C-alpha cells in the first residue's frame, strides 16, 4: 500500500507569500518567499506546491524566477500552478525545475493545450486543479479562473472529465472552506475519491492536525495545507507525528 503524502502549499502574490481566505490574498505572511519555502525542506514535508495568485499574467516572469531559485534547493517534488496557459509557459516551468504542472482554467477553455502538455510531459506531470463553491441556488459547482467563473459543472463529473482527458492527479479545494479553519469539504472530497481512480489531494480549511486526518479518512491520497504551516514552528513534523499516532501510513 502506498503511503499518504503531506504537502505544504505556498501561495505567492507578486513575489510575496500570502494568506488565502476564500481566494482573497491581501494578508502578507512572508515578504521573502525563498525563506518561507526553504523552511519546509528541513521539516520533512513530502511535496511543495507553489501557486501564483497574482492578478495578471505579467507575473509569470517573476514566478519563473521563484521556481528556478526554489528548485535549486528543493529536495522534494515541486508542483506549480497559476497562469499555466500555454505549452511554452508550461515548458518553461518544467525546465525551471518544476516536477508537475497544476492546471485549472485550461480544462474548460482550451483542452487541446492540456493534451499537448500531457503528450510532452506525461500524465504524471499534469495535475487538475478543481475549485468548487456554493452558487446562488445553494448547489456546489465548479469554478475556474481563480474562482470567478462558474462553469455549472458537478464536481464529481468534472473530476471524471479531467481524469478521462489525461489528468494524473486532482488538487481539490472548496473556495468556501478556504481559510475558514473548519477543515476540508469532506462530503465532496469523499465523492470524488470514490469516483475516480487517480490520486486526489485535499486542500482548503485546515486549522488543526485532526483536519488532515479527516481528509485522509475521507479518501484523499494526500493532504495539503498552507496557512497553518506558516504559523507553527516545525509544523509538518508535528503533523506527521500526529498522523502516525493515528495509524496513518505517512512518509517519514
Q: What is the CATH number of the domain that holds 52?
A: 3.20.20.70
Domain membership of residue 252 (yes or no) is no
Domain membership of residue 142 (yes or no) is yes
Q: Which domain holds residue 185?
A: 5-245
Average pLDDT, the chain: 91
Domain membership of residue 164 (yes or no) is yes
Domain membership of residue 250 (yes or no) is no
When divided into structural domains, the chain yields a total of 1
pLDDT of residue 232: 61
Domain membership of residue 201 (yes or no) is yes
Q: Which residue has the higher pLDDT, 237 or 212?
A: 212
pLDDT of residue 114: 98
pTM over 0.85: yes
Contact between 141 and 176 (Cβ < 8 Å): no
Q: Which residue has the higher pLDDT, 240 or 39?
A: 240
Domain membership of residue 251 (yes or no) is no
Contacts within 8 Å (CB) and 24+ apart, 102-106: 102/49, 102/51, 102/127, 102/129, 102/171, 103/127, 103/128, 103/129, 104/128, 104/129, 104/130, 104/131, 104/144, 104/145, 104/146, 105/144, 105/145, 105/149
Domain membership of residue 129 (yes or no) is yes
82 has a pLDDT exceeding 60: yes
CA separation for the pair 192, 190 (Å, rounded): 5
11 has a pLDDT exceeding 60: yes
Mean pLDDT of 106-112: 98
119 has a pLDDT exceeding 60: yes
Amino acid at each position: 500500500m502506498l503511503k499518504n503524502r503531506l504537502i505544504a502549499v505556498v501561495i505567492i502574490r507578486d513575489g510575496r507569500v500570502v494568506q488565502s481566505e476564500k481566494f482573497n490574498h491581501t494578508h502578507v505572511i512572508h515578504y521573502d518567499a525563498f525563506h518561507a519555502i526553504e523552511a519546509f525542506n528541513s521539516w520533512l514535508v513530502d511535496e511543495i506546491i507553489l501557486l501564483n495568485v497574482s492578478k495578471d499574467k505579467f507575473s509569470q516572469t517573476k514566478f519563473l524566477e521563484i521556481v528556478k531559485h526554489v528548485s535549486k534547493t528543493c529536495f522534494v517534488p515541486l508542483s506549480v500552478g497559476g497562469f499555466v496557459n500555454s505549452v511554452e509557459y508550461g515548458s518553461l516551468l518544467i525546465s525551471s525545475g518544476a516536477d508537475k504542472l497544476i492546471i485549472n482554467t485550461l480544462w474548460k477553455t482550451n483542452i487541446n493545450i492540456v493534451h499537448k502538455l500531457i503528450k510532452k510531459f506525461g500524465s504524471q506531470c499534469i495535475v487538475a486543479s478543481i475549485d468548487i463553491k456554493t452558487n446562488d441556488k445553494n448547489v456546489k459547482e465548479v469554478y475556474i479562473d481563480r474562482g470567478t467563473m462558474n462553469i455549472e459543472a458537478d464536481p464529481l463529473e468534472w473530476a471524471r472529465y479531467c481524469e478521462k482527458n489525461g489528468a494524473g492527479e486532482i488538487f481539490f479545494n472548496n473556495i468556501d472552506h478556504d481559510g475558514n479553519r473548519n477543515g476540508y469539504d469532506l462530503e465532496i472530497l469523499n465523492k470524488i475519491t470514490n469516483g475516480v481512480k487517480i490520486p486526489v489531494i485535499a486542500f482548503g480549511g485546515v486549522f488543526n492536525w485532526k483536519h488532515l486526518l479527516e481528509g485522509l479518512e475521507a479518501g484523499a491520497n494526500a493532504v495539503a495545507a498552507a496557512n497553518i504551516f506558516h504559523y507553527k514552528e516545525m509544523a509538518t513534523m508535528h503533523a506527521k507525528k500526529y498522523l502516525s499516532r493515528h495509524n496513518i501510513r505517512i512518509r517519514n
